[in-house]
């Protein structure tokens, strides 16, 4: 099967392009970067997809700069809503299954209950609004699609919370981290494993299950923590791996003490019942997924220390 994975230079796209090579029955992965398929130019998408002729499309490319999206909402909309809509229309017209990623930021974060797929979405940010508009554009196109909402994505590489904490913990004695945002840190590798498990069902089962899930599923690591709890686990995990850190204290602060342009949900918990029931996928807890990434970070840091 020819599988097109967009966003191949990103966290999730990169992990998926590597992971799907090992799908049972074999898969030819077309790992597309923005030079191959530029989502900022939705009008070119049909011609590019005609040329690439995939049998399955996974769109892991997105405008993910949450703060910057407040300044360029139109560009975020083009990349996160118009372009996925164009991909979905192409896929629907050729009966090609389509997998899209979305986000916990479509919710307003009220309450403390894990969000179910059919809970009302009320984004607080331009980024969240653009991702929700993308969901609607895909739904309007019809066809066999699955929108996978995930949360707090990170990896040993890339631009993410883990990669932000590592240098800070090496330089500063105190970190001040938001404690009133709760969710599940989800590694790109965990997402790639879960998507591979979903796809292993085969094309016919895929269409049936996508429909059974009403084209929408939540996928995150099991368990929950705050941003502060995540930072504490990163620091403790690095220390346990012998990484020298300057940090002595990690102070919990409220979101109001760390103002950002984009508002983020306090409650990012995602309910995983549909994922387990329809797709038979039970994700590992966030701590074990983190351990695998920390092993990699610690290896790299000890490698760079040895080289200096």
Ligand X SMILES: NC(=O)c1ccc[n+]([C@@H]2O[C@H](COP(=O)([O-])OP(=O)(O)OC[C@H]3O[C@@H](n4cnc5c(N)ncnc54)[C@H](OP(=O)(O)O)[C@@H]3O)[C@@H](O)[C@H]2O)c1
Which residue numbers are catalytic?
127
Question: How many Å separate Cα 291 from the centre of its chain?
Answer: 18
Q: How far is the CB of 185 from ligand X (least distance, A)?
A: 9
Instruction: Please choose, from the candidates 85, 45, 79, the residue with its C-alpha nearest in 3D space to the C-alpha of residue 64.
Output: 79
Q: Is the dihedral of CA 220, 195, 200, 205 positive or negative?
A: positive
Q: How far is the CB of 36 from ligand X (least distance, A)?
A: 8
Nearer to ligand X by Cβ, of 38 and 72: the residue is 38
Nearer to ligand X by Cβ, of 243 and 286: the residue is 286
Q: How far is the CB of 126 from ligand X (least distance, A)?
A: 13
How distant, in Å, are the alpha carbons of 102, 150, 281 from that of 274?
Answer: 16, 13, 9
β partners of residue 2: 28
CB-nearest residue to ligand X: 10
Interacting residues of 26 by C-beta distance below 8 A, sequence separation 6+: 1
Q: How far is the CB of 249 from ligand X (least distance, A)?
A: 26
Nearer to ligand X by Cβ, of 161 and 302: the residue is 161
Nearer to ligand X by Cβ, of 77 and 243: the residue is 77
Which residues of the chain form contacts with ligand X (CB under 6 A)?
Answer: 7, 9-13, 33-34, 37-40, 60-64, 79, 101, 103, 131, 150-153, 158
Q: How far is the CB of 39 from ligand X (least distance, A)?
A: 4
Nearer to ligand X by Cβ, of 102 and 247: the residue is 102
């Amino acid at each position: 099967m020819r599988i097109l994975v967009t966003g191949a230079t990103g966290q999730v796209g990169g992990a998926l392009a590597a992971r799907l090579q090992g799908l049972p029955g074999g898969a030819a992965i077309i790992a597309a970067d923005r030079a191959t398929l530029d989502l900022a130019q939705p009008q070119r998408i049909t011609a590019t997809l005609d040329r690439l002729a995939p049998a399955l499309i996974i769109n892991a490319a997105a405008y993910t700069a949450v703060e910057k999206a407040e300044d360029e909402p139109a560009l975020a909309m083009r990349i996160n809503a118009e372009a996925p809509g164009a991909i979905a229309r192409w896929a629907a017209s050729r009966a090609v299954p389509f997998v899209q990623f979305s986000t916990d930021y479509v919710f307003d974060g009220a309450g403390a209950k894990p969000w179910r797929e059919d809970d009302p979405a009320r984004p607080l940010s331009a980024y969240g609004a653009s991702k929700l508009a993308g969901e609607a554009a895909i739904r309007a196109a019809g066809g066999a699609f699955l929108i996978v909402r995930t949360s707090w994505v990170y990896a040993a590489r890339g631009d993410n919370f883990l990669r932000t904490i590592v240098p800070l913990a090496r330089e500063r004695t105190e970190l001040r981290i938001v404690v009133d945002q709760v969710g599940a840190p989800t590694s790109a590798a965990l997402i790639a494993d879960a998507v591979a498990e979903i796809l292993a069902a085969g094309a016919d089962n895929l269409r049936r299950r996508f429909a059974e899930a009403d084209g929408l599923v939540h996928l995150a690591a099991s368990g929950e923590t705050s941003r502060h709890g995540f930072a504490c686990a990163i620091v403790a995990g690095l220390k346990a791996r012998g990484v020298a850190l300057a940090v002595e204290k990690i102070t919990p602060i409220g979101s109001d003490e760390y103002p950002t342009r984009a508002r983020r949900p306090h409650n990012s918990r995602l309910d995983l019942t549909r994922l387990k029931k329809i797709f038979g996928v039970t994700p590992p807890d966030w701590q074990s997924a983190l351990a695998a990434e920390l092993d990699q970070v610690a290896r790299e840091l000890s490698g760079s220390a040895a080289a200096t």
